[in-house]
C-alpha cells in the first residue's frame, strides 16, 4: 500500500519532467509502474503509452497556444513514427519469445529483456541530457530547414523504440528536430510533445485489442490526472528555473536509475 501511495505521488514528476525539459516522462513512468505499482512489465509499456500520451497531448496543446509547435514537423516526423509504433506493437513484440535464453540457472525472459533494454535507453537518455547543449542554441528566428531522409529514418527509429518499451523518445526527438530541421530549442520541445502524444496514444489504441480485459482504468486515470497536473507545474517552473541546470540534475538521476534497473534485472 505504501509503495502505491509513493507511486501516485511520483506520478506528478512525469508531467513535471515533460513540462520542464520535454522528455523523461516514460523514463519515470515504466519503473514506477513496475516496481511501485506492481504492473507486469509488458502491460506496463502499454500503460506508459497512455499516460505519457495524454500528458504530452495536454502539454502540446498548451505549447500550441504559445506558438511553440511546428505542425509540419509533427506530420513529417509523426507519420513514420506512428507506423513504426503500430508495426512494433502488433508484429514485432508478439514475435519475441517468452524465454529468450538460458544460462545454467539463469532464465532470461521477455520481461527481463524489455526492462534491460529500457535500462539501456535510460542510460542513453541520461547521456543526451548531460551532454552540453551549445550546438542546440539557435536564434528563434532561424529558418527551419528539413533534412527529410534523416527525419524519416529518425521517426522510424523512435517509433520502434516506443513500440518495444513504451518510451516516448523525447530525448531523441528534440535533438533530431534541432539538428536535422535547424529548429529553435523551445519550438522543438513543444513540437516534440505533440509527436510523442500522437504516436503514444495511437500505440495504446492498437493495444486495446490485446489488453482491454485486464487494463486497470482506475489506476490509469488517477496516474494520468496527476501527471497532467505535473505538466502544468513543469511549464510554469520552466520560466522560473534554470533549465540547463535542472536537466543536468535530472540526467544524473536517470543515469543512476538506469544502472540500478540494469543491475537489478541481471544480477539481483
- pLDDT level of residue 172 (50, 70, 90 thresholds): confident
- 17: cell is 519532467
Helical axes 2-21 vs 41-65, angle rounded to 10°: 40
DSSP letters, 71-128, are HHHHHHHHHHHHHHHHHIIIIIHHHS-SEEEEETTEEEEHHHHHHHHHHHHHHHHHHH
Higher pLDDT, 99 or 242: 99
Q: List pLDDT tens digits, range 192-218.
A: 889 989 988 988 988 887 788 889 999
Q: List pLDDT tens digits, range 13-56.
A: 888 888 877 777 777 898 899 999 999 988 998 999 899 899 98
State how far the Cα of 156 lies from the Cα of 83, in Å rounded to an integer: 8
User: Do 48 and 26 form a contact (C-beta atoms < 8 A)?
Assistant: yes
State how far the Cα of 225 lies from the Cα of 102, in Å rounded to an integer: 41
Please list, residue by residue across 65-89, b when 16 or more beta carbons sit within 10 angstroms of its beta carbon and e when fewer do. eeebbbeebbebbbebbbebbbbbb
- 109: cell is 525472459
Q: What is the mean pLDDT of the segment spanning 61-66?
A: 89
State how far the Cα of 50 lies from the Cα of 249, in Å rounded to an integer: 26
Report, in angstroms and rounded to the nearest whole number, the Rg of the chain calculated over CA atoms.
18
- The whole model's pTM is what? 0.80
* pLDDT over threshold 70, residue 145: yes
Residue 219 is predicted with a pLDDT of: 94
DSSP at 136? G
In the chain, pLDDT over 90 holds for what percent of residues? 18
State how far the Cα of 244 lies from the Cα of 247, in Å rounded to an integer: 5
- 236: cell is 510554469
Residue with grid cell 513540437, as numbered in its chain: 191
State how far the Cα of 81 lies from the Cα of 56, in Å rounded to an integer: 16
- 89: cell is 506493437
Amino acid at each position: 500500500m505504501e509503495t502505491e501511495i509513493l507511486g501516485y505521488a511520483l506520478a506528478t514528476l512525469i508531467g513535471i519532467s515533460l513540462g520542464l525539459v520535454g522528455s523523461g516522462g516514460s523514463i519515470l513512468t515504466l519503473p514506477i509502474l513496475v516496481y511501485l505499482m506492481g504492473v507486469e512489465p509488458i502491460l506496463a509499456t502499454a500503460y506508459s503509452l497512455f499516460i505519457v500520451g495524454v500528458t504530452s497531448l495536454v502539454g502540446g496543446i498548451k505549447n500550441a497556444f504559445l506558438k511553440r509547435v511546428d505542425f509540419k514537423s509533427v506530420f513529417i516526423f509523426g507519420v513514420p513514427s506512428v507506423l513504426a509504433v503500430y508495426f512494433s506493437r502488433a508484429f514485432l513484440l508478439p514475435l519475441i519469445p517468452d524465454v529468450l535464453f538460458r544460462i545454467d540457472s539463469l532464465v532470461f525472459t521477455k520481461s527481463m529483456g524489455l526492462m534491460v533494454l529500457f535500462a539501456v535507453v535510460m542510460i542513453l537518455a541520461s547521456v543526451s541530457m548531460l551532454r552540453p547543449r551549445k550546438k542546440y542554441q539557435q536564434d528563434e528566428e532561424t529558418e527551419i530547414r528539413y533534412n527529410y531522409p534523416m527525419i524519416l529514418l529518425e521517426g522510424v527509429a523512435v517509433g520502434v523504440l516506443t513500440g518495444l518499451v513504451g518510451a516516448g523518445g523525447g530525448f531523441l526527438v528534440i535533438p533530431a528536430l534541432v539538428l536535422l530541421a535547424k529548429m529553435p530549442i523551445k519550438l522543438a520541445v513543444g513540437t516534440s510533445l505533440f509527436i510523442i502524444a500522437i504516436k503514444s496514444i495511437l500505440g495504446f489504441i492498437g493495444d486495446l485489442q490485446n489488453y482491454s480485459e485486464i487494463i486497470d482504468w482506475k489506476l490509469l486515470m488517477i496516474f494520468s490526472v496527476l501527471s497532467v497536473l505535473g505538466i502544468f507545474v513543469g511549464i510554469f517552473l520552466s520560466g522560473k528555473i534554470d533549465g540547463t541546470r535542472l536537466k543536468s540534475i535530472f540526467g544524473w538521476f536517470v543515469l543512476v536509475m538506469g544502472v540500478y534497473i540494469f543491475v537489478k534485472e541481471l544480477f539481483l
